[in-house]
């Protein structure tokens, strides 16, 4: 679906009770709603709220009550550069490690595409850490989400370094891939339409977006990558005994292994997220990945954003899955077990 023009709506901007207006955020006792509006494409209720948890003020963006992004807010109202979500840290670090580690042809001007903006956490980290000549572009289905990311989550858009557009992600990838094919068929240079890293992080209030699960979307994403590009896919998994998301994630991993030479996975320890890491060519040893990640964590802006990142523990969950020449193991079925 392409984003429709925004329908008439009422936006509620609600401040703190008068007795708490000037109070430091960590001392507030009541939740504060900053924005509440139905989105113009799906109609899901988008909310931005602040809550105090363990003495810390957390601002959260949610769709239909499901958290999409959060950020810490200081007593003076400033937003923390530190990213509290493990999956945000992992995907940001992997992107920077890839474009800065010698894998791409133009490390001084890498091109990154993010599908699914949310509160803009990943875009915020990458726009601060990528070279100024680099490009960080995001595609988000709901225009209200982009509005909230800019207004309440510190995302600074500046063409051409950090940009965002509202639209259907599957259609965007399809059109970009088609343009690549047309240019190359005519002997032209399609480099301007290819990306060094593509991050598929598209979720709806019901879970992983349908488009991310479609083989055509994977084909289009693969076709939009540079020859030495990296694809990251954020998946949700769970207990194979009762969670169908486990089998959805396995189906996506199998499809990725059919398209890439090297596919890895990192299972988050704090959430039931699984990050698929895909590229062409020979797989990188764990030591090579770790060295690249260490180099990024030595950069001030990255260290601040990824404060508390457990590198050694994360590497223990970084596993090679397979690839075109090494089919994914079929130790279990691609369907939930039948009830007795």
Residue 227 · residue 191 · CB < 8 Å: no
For domain 86-322, give its CATH number from 3.90.1170.10, 3.40.50.150, 1.10.10.60, 3.40.50.12160. Answer: 3.40.50.150
User: How confident is the model at residue 207, as a pLDDT?
Assistant: 61
Confidence of residue 27 (pLDDT cuts 50, 70, 90): low
Q: How far apart are the first and last CA of the chain?
A: 40
User: How confident is the model at residue 12, as a pLDDT?
Assistant: 31
Confidence of residue 328 (pLDDT cuts 50, 70, 90): confident
User: How confident is the model at residue 25, as a pLDDT?
Assistant: 56
Q: Which helix (H) or strand (E) holds 216?
A: helix 215-224
Confidence of residue 191 (pLDDT cuts 50, 70, 90): confident
The residue among 207 and 154 whose pLDDT is bigger is 154
User: How confident is the model at residue 315, as a pLDDT?
Assistant: 97
The residue ranges of DSSP E strands in 108-168, in sequence order, are: 111-115, 135-140, 162-166
Mean pLDDT of 98-109: 90
CA dihedral sign of residues 114, 220, 131, 314? positive
Confidence of residue 15 (pLDDT cuts 50, 70, 90): very low
Q: What is the mean pLDDT of the chain?
A: 87
Confidence of residue 11 (pLDDT cuts 50, 70, 90): very low
* Per-residue pLDDT reduced to its tens digit, 290-307: 999 999 999 999 999 999
Find all residues with CB under 8 Å of 262, minimum gap 6, and list them: 278, 279, 280, 281, 282, 283, 284, 320, 323
User: How confident is the model at residue 212, as a pLDDT?
Assistant: 74
User: How confident is the model at residue 4, as a pLDDT?
Assistant: 28
CA–CA separation, 16 and 335 (whole Å): 48
Mean pLDDT of 113-136: 96
User: How confident is the model at residue 222, as a pLDDT?
Assistant: 96
Reference 62, options 211, 236, 205; nearest CA is 205
CA–CA separation, 229 and 177 (whole Å): 14
Domain regions of the chain by residue span:
18-73, 86-322
332, pLDDT greater than 90 = no
The residue among 329 and 150 whose pLDDT is bigger is 150
User: How confident is the model at residue 14, as a pLDDT?
Assistant: 29
DSSP state of 244: H
239, pLDDT greater than 70 = yes
The residue ranges of DSSP E strands in 92-213, in sequence order, are: 111-115, 135-140, 162-166, 195-200, 203-204, 207-208
């Amino acid at each position: 679906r392409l984003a429709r023009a925004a329908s008439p709506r009422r936006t509620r901007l609600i401040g703190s009770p008068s007795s708490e207006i000037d109070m430091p955020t960590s001392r507030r006792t009541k939740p504060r709603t900053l924005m509440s509006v139905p989105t113009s494409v799906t109609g899901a209720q988008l909310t931005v709220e602040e809550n105090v948890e363990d003495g810390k003020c957390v601002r959260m963006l949610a769709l239909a009550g499901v958290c999409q992004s959060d950020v810490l807010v200081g007593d003076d109202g400033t937003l923390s550069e530190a990213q509290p979500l493990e999956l945000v840290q992992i995907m940001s670090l992997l992107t920077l490690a890839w474009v800065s580690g010698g894998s791409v042809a133009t490390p001084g001007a890498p091109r990154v595409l993010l599908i699914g903006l949310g509160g803009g956490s990943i875009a915020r980290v990458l726009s601060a850490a990528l070279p100024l000549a680099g490009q960080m572009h995001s595609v988000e289905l709901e225009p209200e989400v982009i509005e909230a990311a800019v207004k309440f989550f510190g995302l600074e858009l500046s063409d051409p370094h950090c940009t965002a557009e509202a639209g259907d992600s599957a259609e965007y990838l399809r059109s970009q891939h088609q343009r690549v094919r047309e240019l190359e068929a005519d002997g032209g240079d399609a480099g301007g339409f290819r990306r060094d890293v593509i991050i598929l992080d598209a979720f709806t209030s019901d879970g992983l977006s349908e488009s991310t699960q479609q083989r055509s979307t994977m084909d289009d994403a693969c076709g939009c990558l540079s020859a030495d590009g990296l694809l990251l896919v954020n998946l949700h998994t769970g207990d194979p005994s009762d969670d169908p998301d486990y089998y959805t994630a396995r189906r996506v991993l199998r499809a990725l292994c059919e398209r890439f030479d090297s596919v890895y996975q990192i299972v988050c320890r704090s959430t039931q997220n699984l990050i698929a890491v895909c590229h062409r060519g020979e797989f990188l040893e764990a030591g090579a990945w770790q060295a690249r990640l260490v180099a990024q964590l030595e950069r001030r802006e990255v260290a601040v954003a990824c404060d508390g990142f457990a590198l050694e523990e994360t590497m223990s969950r970084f596993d090679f899955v397979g690839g075109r020449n090494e089919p994914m193991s079929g130790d279990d079925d691609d369907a939930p077990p039948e009830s007795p």
